[in-house]
Structures are given as C-alpha cells and as structure tokens.
Amino acid sequence: MTEEKIKEVLSKIKEPVLNLDYVTLNFIRDISLNGKNLSLTLEISNLDNNIIKVATQNVKRQFQQLIPELEKVNVDFILGVVEHKNAKKTSVIAEVKNTIAISL
C-alpha cells in the first residue's frame, strides 16, 4: 500500500459541498498507514455534523470497496479554505492571501 494508491482512491471521492475530489481541492492534510489501519486527516468546506457524517461514510465506503485488505479506516476532518485566484486582487493587494467582505 502506497501513499499514491491512497491518493488515487481519494481522487475518486468528492467533497460533499464543493463537489470536487479531495486531491483536486488539495484537502489532504495527513495520511498515516499502520499495518492494515489507515488514518486520514482531510479538510472539508463545512463542519456541519450531517455533512461530516456523509463525508466519513463516503470515504470509508470507497476504501472498503477499492482496498478491501484495510481493516480500519479512520477519518478526521478540519475546516478547509478554498483559495480563489483573482488576478485583479493580486495586483491591488499583492501580499494578502485572503480577503473577507463585511456588510454593515
């Protein structure tokens, strides 16, 4: 079992809110394989309990189907932020990574 094989499986699983896979979103934070036990830390765009439950089930189901020799798959989620590329913003405020709009 290699990290590339694990990422290949994660590339087939879509994050439930953004509807893109975890590899494309760069939402993989940690992969730990101990024998036949896999632990993943993934980012997610919404920490709602129902969304996390669905995402956890999707990840576990895919690994059980595609790598059945795994005995246990543990998934933890942390809040992920998707970076939006905006050339105009970069030229105006070059060293700022993220901006937040506030309405009064």
Q: In this structure, are residues 55 and 14 in contact, taking their beta carbons and an 8 Å threshold?
A: no
The pLDDT tens digits for 35-89 are 999 999 999 998 899 999 999 999 999 999 999 999 999 999 999 876 556 666 5
In which band, very low, low, confident or very high, does the pLDDT at 103 lie, cut at 50, 70 and 90? Answer: confident
Contacts of 57 (CB under 8 A, 6+ apart): none
| Domains along the sequence of the chain with CATH | 3-92 (3.30.300.130)
Query: 44 versus 92: which is more confidently predicted?
Result: 44
Q: Answer yes or no: is pLDDT of 96 > 90.
A: no
CA 59 – CA 75 distance, rounded (Å)? 8
CA 89 – CA 58 distance, rounded (Å)? 36
Coil, helix or strand at residue 7:
helix
Tell me the residue length of the chain. Answer: 104
CA 11 – CA 5 distance, rounded (Å)? 10
Q: In this structure, are residues 71 and 36 in contact, taking their beta carbons and an 8 Å threshold?
A: yes
The pLDDT tens digits for 25-47 are 999 999 999 999 999 999 999 88
CA 48 – CA 57 distance, rounded (Å)? 14
